[in-house]
Amino acid sequence: MIPIDDTPIVRDGRVLILAMDHGLEHGPGDFKNVPDKLDPTTVFDIATHDAVTAMAVQKGVAEEYYPSYEDDVNLLAKINGTSNLWMGEPDSAVNWSVEYAAELGADAVGFTVYSGSNHEVEMFEEFRDVQEQAREHDLPVVMWSYPRGQGVKNDTKPSTISYATRIALELGADVAKVKYPGSKEAMAHAVRCAGGVKAVMSGGSKTSDHKFLSTVEAVMDAGAKGLAVGRNVWQREDPTRLLDALEKIVHESETADTALEA
Ligand code: FBP
């Protein structure tokens, strides 16, 4: 592992990744109620908030927009990704090299692994290459650790999520991004299974302020080191207000209620 706490994507041991690769992963439908966010500059502007430690985007968005934000936003290069149009067993194309991401100014790389898919073997091997190239460039590696496919009956049950964080440790990730397993206890177990890897929660579809922030509070109490969130921030009318609250919960260990009162 690299000394990840010394890298720009970590602030006092905590990570808050703003994800915006949904145009690829889900399609433009995710922007239906927030059409202004179809313009990536609006989300890069949100990512300049102090609470955000990195923004995750695909290659095309990085090439086109990151040069204007490189002084204000840390780039997490999401190396693989696939569209919602793909109907086969879960898989994800490798869309850019670590070397090119580093050239564009990446501060970290991200990679989805669908353990349990019929494509697990190839995905593990692709992850190996990315992880070793990232080490050569001193870039931390964030694994979107998503057990999914024929081998997985329930992709958020506690034993699946603890397996997901463990796979991230076994394969050499620095951060394991996993779905919420439904309770603080289950998350605490997943955190233990991650060893020295930072376990962070994946945001999911938009919910109420209180529900989302209470889950973030539970996850932080469980020992997680932050979160990677997209829709729950930029699909909101006032993303800054939510990031102000996340600043308090993720970086200052306050409760959701206190954060919402402010
Ligand atoms: P959200 O917080 O909006 O769920 O974003 C996090 C993320 O991992 C994105 O990077 C990605 O586009 C999306 O979720 C994939 O989610 P899923 O595969 O579950 O649809």
Show pLDDT as tens, one digit a residue, over the chain (262 residues).
Answer: 789 999 999 999 999 999 999 999 999 999 999 999 999 999 999 999 999 999 999 999 999 999 999 999 999 999 999 999 999 999 999 999 999 999 999 999 999 999 999 999 999 999 999 999 999 999 999 999 999 999 899 999 999 999 999 999 999 999 999 999 999 999 999 999 999 999 999 999 999 999 999 999 999 999 999 999 999 999 999 999 999 999 999 999 999 999 999 7
The pLDDT of residue 262:
76
> Tokens 């086969």 identify what position?
88
- Nearest CA residue ID for atom 4, ligand 1: 204
pTM as predicted: 0.97
Cβ of 30 less than 6 Å from ligand 1: no
DSSP tag of 248: I
Answer yes or no: is the C-beta of 232 below 6 A from any ligand 1 atom. yes
Q: How far is the CA of 26 from the centre of ligand 1 (A)?
A: 8
Q: Find the radius of gyration of the CA atoms of the chain.
A: 17
Pocket test for ligand 1, best of 15, 17, 25 (most atoms within 8 A of CB): 25
DSSP 67: G
Return the bridge partners of 144, or none. 112, 177
Alpha carbon separation from 82 to 17, 58, 125 (Å, rounded): 19, 10, 17
Torsion of CA 28, 33, 34, 39, to 10 degrees: 20
Ligand 1 touching residue 21 (CB < 6 A): yes
- Taking CA atoms only, the protein residue closest to ligand 1 atom 8 is 202
Say what the pLDDT of residue 2 is.
80
Q: Give the pLDDT confidence score for residue 198 in this predicted structure.
A: 98
For atom 10 of ligand 1, which residue has the closest CA?
Answer: 19
Distance CA 168, CA 48 (A): 28
Helical (H) or strand (E) element with 162 = helix 158-171
| Ligand 1 atom closest to Cα of residue 206 | 3
Q: How far is the CA of 93 from the centre of ligand 1 (A)?
A: 16
Atom of ligand 1 nearest to the CA of 19: 10
Taking the C-alpha atoms of residue 255 and residue 260, their distance in angstroms, rounded to an integer, is 9
- Supply 52's token pair: 């955000």
pLDDT of the residue at 252: 97
209 CA to centre of ligand 1 in angstroms: 18
